[in-house]
């Protein structure tokens, strides 16, 4: 089934460049929007699989637009694509419900790959953002509302939170991919969620 995307950015040339890259790679761009208000309306009307969202827009910022879109349809998948990668912007977007975060300096193919990954339920981040998230989850106290994880499961969960896939986690922890798959399954079972994206939402919601 063809992935359907909504592209939101107030800079026409950049927006159309992103749209062209997606279309060239077989992704159906169902609409474009130059501001957050139009994005919220288009997302509600068209229910795209992925919303590519800028943060800094004149009428309604991307964080608030993301919050409204996800509040109206919790299954909505928002990929932030912005110039900003400071901690405040990253965590505000994640708390609003974004499933991924890329900077605009990313290569077109990286953007396409990220849209596909988010559309498939994965969490995806640029390297600098992933490092920030990894550091955060490594140092933040475990919320008492989350179920108890073993030490190894917490290590795997921190890497999951940074958007890393099973093969990467296996390499970094010197484990087999089968062992990592088992840990991921145990984590999802303990958190009572269906996939990585839902697990990350739970960590985000309990991060204060």
Percent of the chain with pLDDT over 70: 86
Residues pairing with 81 in the sheet: 102
Instruction: Indicate the SS3 state at residue 18.
Output: helix
Residue 84: how many other CB atoms lie within 10 Å: 17
Structure tokens at 174: 């010197």
Give the pLDDT confidence score for residue 144 in this predicted structure: 46
181-193 pLDDT, tens digit each: 888 888 877 777 7
Domains annotated for the chain, with CATH where assigned, are: 4-139 (3.40.50.2300), 151-206 (1.10.10.10)
Residue with the larger pLDDT of the pair 152 and 139? 152
Angle of CA points 200, 204, 208, to nearest 5°? 160
Structure tokens at 2: 């063809």
Distance CA 110, CA 41 (A): 27
Residue with the larger pLDDT of the pair 58 and 17? 17
Residue 126: how many other CB atoms lie within 10 Å: 22
Residue with the larger pLDDT of the pair 153 and 27? 27
pTM of structure: 0.69
Residue 192: how many other CB atoms lie within 10 Å: 10
The most confident of 42-46, 134-138, 189-193, 197-201, by mean pLDDT: 42-46
Distance CA 56, CA 76 (A): 20
88-132 pLDDT, tens digit each: 888 888 888 898 899 999 999 999 999 998 998 887 887 777 766
39-93 pLDDT, tens digit each: 999 999 999 999 999 999 989 999 999 999 999 998 899 999 999 877 788 888 8
């Amino acid at each position: 089934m063809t992935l359907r995307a909504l592209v939101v950015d107030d800079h026409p040339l950049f927006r159309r460049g992103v749209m062209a890259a997606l279309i060239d790679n077989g992704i159906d761009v169902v609409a474009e929007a130059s501001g957050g208000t139009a994005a919220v309306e288009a997302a509600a009307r068209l229910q795209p699989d992925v919303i590519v969202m800028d943060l800094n827009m004149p009428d309604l910022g991307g964080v608030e637009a993301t919050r409204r879109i996800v509040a109206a349809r919790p299954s909505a998948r928002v990929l932030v694509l912005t110039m900003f990668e400071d901690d405040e912007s990253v965590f505000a977007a994640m708390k609003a419900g974004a499933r991924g975060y890329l900077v605009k300096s990313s290569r077109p193919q990286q953007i396409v790959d990220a849209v596909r990954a988010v559309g498939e339920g994965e969490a995806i981040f640029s390297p600098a953002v992933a490092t920030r998230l990894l550091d955060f989850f490594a140092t933040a106290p475990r919320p008492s509302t989350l179920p108890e994880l073993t030490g190894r499961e917490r290590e795997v969960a921190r890497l999951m939170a940074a958007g890393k896939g099973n093969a990467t986690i296996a390499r970094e922890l010197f484990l087999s991919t089968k062992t990592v798959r088992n840990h991921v399954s145990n984590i999802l079972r303990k958190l009572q969620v269906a996939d990585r994206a839902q697990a990350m939402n739970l960590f985000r919601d309990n991060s204060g």
